[in-house]
Amino acid sequence: MKTSDQKKKKNQDKARDKAQSLIRRIICPEGLELEFRLATYQERLYAFILDSIFMLALVIFLSLVISNLFGLGRESSQAFLALGCYLILNFYFLHFELAWRGRTPGKKIMGIRVINRRGGELTPTMVIARNLTRQVEIFYPLLFLFQNLGEQSSLLSLIELAFILVMILLPRFSRDHYRLGDLIGGTMVAVTPKATLLEDLSVHAPQASYTFTPKHLGIYGALELNALEKALRLSKFQSSPALRKIAYTIIRKINYGRKVKPDDAVQFLRDFYAAERGLLERERLFGRNKDDKNTPLKPIEPVKPGANPTGKKPLTSLARNRSGASQKP
Partner 1 sequence: MTEPTLSQAELAPKPLTLRSAVFRKSREKSWEKLDKLITQLDRRGLKALSAQEAMELPLLYQSAVSSLALARHISLDQSLRAYLESLVLRGYIAVYGPRQSFEEILGSFFARDFPRAVRRLKWPILIAALALISGLLTGFFQVLADPAAFHHLVSEDLAGGRGPNSSPQFLLEEVIFAPWPGFEKSFIVFASYLFEHNSFVTFLAFGLGFALGAPTVVILFQNGQILGAMLAIHWSKDIALEFIGWVAIHGVTELTAVVLAGAAGLGVAERIFFPGERSRLENLAREGPTAVAAMVGVIFMLLLAGLIEGGFRQLVGSTPLRLFFAGLSLFGWLYYFLFFGREDDA
User: Among residues 171, 185, 218, 314, which is the contact residue for partner 1, using CB under 8 A?
Assistant: 185
User: Among residues 39, 47, 110, 126, which is the contact residue for partner 1, using CB under 8 A?
Assistant: 126
Shortest distance in whole angstroms from residue 132 CB to partner 1: 5
Range in contact with partner 1 (rule: CB under 8 A) among 47-55, 205-213, 291-299, 304-312 = 205-213
CB 25 within 8 A of CB 314: yes
Instruction: Report the distance separating Cα 203 and Cα 163, nearest Å.
Output: 59
Integer CA distances (angstroms), 66 to 21, 52, 70, 90, in order = 49, 21, 6, 20
Shortest distance in whole angstroms from residue 307 CB to partner 1: 16
Instruction: Report the distance separating Cα 10 and Cα 36, nearest Å.
Output: 25
Q: Region of 243 please: left (phi>0), alpha (psi -120 to 50) or beta.
A: alpha
Range in contact with partner 1 (rule: CB under 8 A) among 4-12, 43-51, 58-66, 112-120 = 112-120
User: Computed over its alpha carbons, how large is the radius of gyration of the chain?
Assistant: 28
Parallel, antiparallel or unpaired: strands 112-116 and 288-289: unpaired
Range in contact with partner 1 (rule: CB under 8 A) among 50-58, 121-129, 148-156, 301-309 = 121-129
Range in contact with partner 1 (rule: CB under 8 A) among 149-157, 197-205, 234-242, 260-268 = 197-205
User: Among residues 6, 226, 238, 249, which is the contact residue for partner 1, using CB under 8 A?
Assistant: 226
CB 187 within 8 A of CB 215: no
User: Among residues 18, 230, 245, 253, which is the contact residue for partner 1, using CB under 8 A?
Assistant: 230
For the segment 12-41, give every residue that binds partner 1 (CB under 8 A).
28-30, 32, 34-36
- Which residues, in sequence order, are bridge partners of residue 191? 112
Shortest distance in whole angstroms from residue 66 CB to partner 1: 12
For the segment 265-284, give every residue that binds partner 1 (CB under 8 A).
274, 277-278, 280-282, 284
For the segment 143-182, give every residue that binds partner 1 (CB under 8 A).
143-144
User: Among residues 12, 21, 76, 238, which is the contact residue for partner 1, using CB under 8 A?
Assistant: 76
Instruction: Report the distance separating Cα 270 and Cα 173, nearest Å.
Output: 47
Between 128 and 219, name the residue whose CB sits nearer to partner 1. 128
Shortest distance in whole angstroms from residue 9 CB to partner 1: 22
Integer CA distances (angstroms), 236 to 89, 232, 269, 318, in order = 49, 9, 16, 45
CB 92 within 8 A of CB 55: yes
Instruction: Report the distance separating Cα 93 and Cα 87, nearest Å.
Output: 11
Parallel, antiparallel or unpaired: strands 298-299 and 187-191: unpaired
User: Among residues 58, 62, 183, 297, which is the contact residue for partner 1, using CB under 8 A?
Assistant: 183
Range in contact with partner 1 (rule: CB under 8 A) among 6-14, 48-56, 73-81, 152-160 = 73-81
User: Among residues 2, 194, 236, 261, which is the contact residue for partner 1, using CB under 8 A?
Assistant: 194
Between 44 and 103, name the residue whose CB sits nearer to partner 1. 103
For the segment 38-67, give every residue that binds partner 1 (CB under 8 A).
none
**Of 168, 44, 195, 26, which Cα lies nearest the Cα of 112?**
44
Between 2 and 328, name the residue whose CB sits nearer to partner 1. 328
**Of 210, 179, 188, 20, which Cα lies nearest the Cα of 112?**
188
Shortest distance in whole angstroms from residue 283 CB to partner 1: 10
Shortest distance in whole angstroms from residue 2 CB to partner 1: 31
Q: Give yes or no for residue 113 binding partner 1 (CB under 8 A).
A: yes
One-character DSSP codes across 282-316: HHHHTTEE--STTS--EEPPPPPTT--TTSS----
